[in-house]
Amino acid sequence: MPMSQNKSQFVAVASIAAELSAVMEVAKEISLAAANAKAIAFRAGEKARGFQPITDFINELAKETIELVNNINEHALKLYRLTVKEHRMSEACKRFEKVAVSASAAPYASSLTPSLQQARQRRTDCRRQFSRHVSELLTQLADVMHPARAARVIAANSRIEASQAGEYLQSLQAVAESVDNAAQIIHDKVHKCRSALSMINAVD
């Protein structure tokens, strides 16, 4: 990874953190929608019997998403720390190389060599770790896509069940709509995260 990559790497990692935080909010909204739907379905009684198990399923999906995003957040934080470390290592290498040139005539110039070699080694290690973490993060992000896709299917089923709920039709349809929207938002945001990460990997 060239030095000029550092800046875009910082931006990419920060934008991933921002997108993930938005995903978390949306997942919480889904969880709330599930609780709301459950209350409506309870009131609707027999008319919304088909809807009741769906609400539990929506809630499970929201929980699963929140858990996955929590894990991914930890990973993203590691990625950020690695970016900072790699930046510091690159800076150290750059400055040590500068010293090696300007102090070439100094009596103790060669004493810097072990430090320079160590800094280069650490920089290489950082880059290797960074690439590994990016790959792992990409896999985890793909995992978040699954509950989001499932949520869309459930939303479609919810609409069908809602149509049989008489006077509760509108309320339950609204729930189905909000789950569908939320799932779409999660899908888009996760897709953005994956694109940002893929770009880092492509330049790497």
Partner 1 sequence: MKMTKIYEGAYQWIMYGRDPYKPDNIIDTNQYVVRTENRCLLIDPGGIELFAPMLAAVLHHAPVDEITDLFASHQDPDIISSLGLWGQALPHAKLHAAGLWEGFLRHFGCESIQYVPIPDAGGVINLGSVELQIVPAHYLHSSANFNIYDPQAKIFFSGDIGAALEGPGQPVFVENFDAHVEKMRFFHQRWMPSNQAKRVWIDRVRSLDVEILAPQHGRMFKGDDVKRFLDWFEALQVGIAV
Please report how close the Cβ of residue 127 comes to partner 1 at its closest, in angstroms. 16
Q: How far apart are CA 125 and CA 9, in angstroms?
A: 17
Give the total residue count for the chain: 204
Angstrom CA distances, 33 to 82, 171, 178, stand at: 37, 11, 7
Please report how close the Cβ of residue 178 comes to partner 1 at its closest, in angstroms. 43
Cβ closest to partner 1, residue 32 vs residue 99: 99
* Alpha helix positions (H), the chain: 5-44, 51-102, 113-162, 169-203
Cβ closest to partner 1, residue 17 vs residue 92: 92
Cβ closest to partner 1, residue 119 vs residue 151: 119
Please report how close the Cβ of residue 95 comes to partner 1 at its closest, in angstroms. 5
Cβ closest to partner 1, residue 1 vs residue 103: 103
Question: Strand, coil or helix: what is 106?
Answer: coil
Per-residue DSSP letter, 1 = -
Residues engaged in binding partner 1 (CB under 8 A): 88-89, 91-92, 95-96, 98-99, 102-103, 106-109, 111-112, 114-115, 118-119, 122
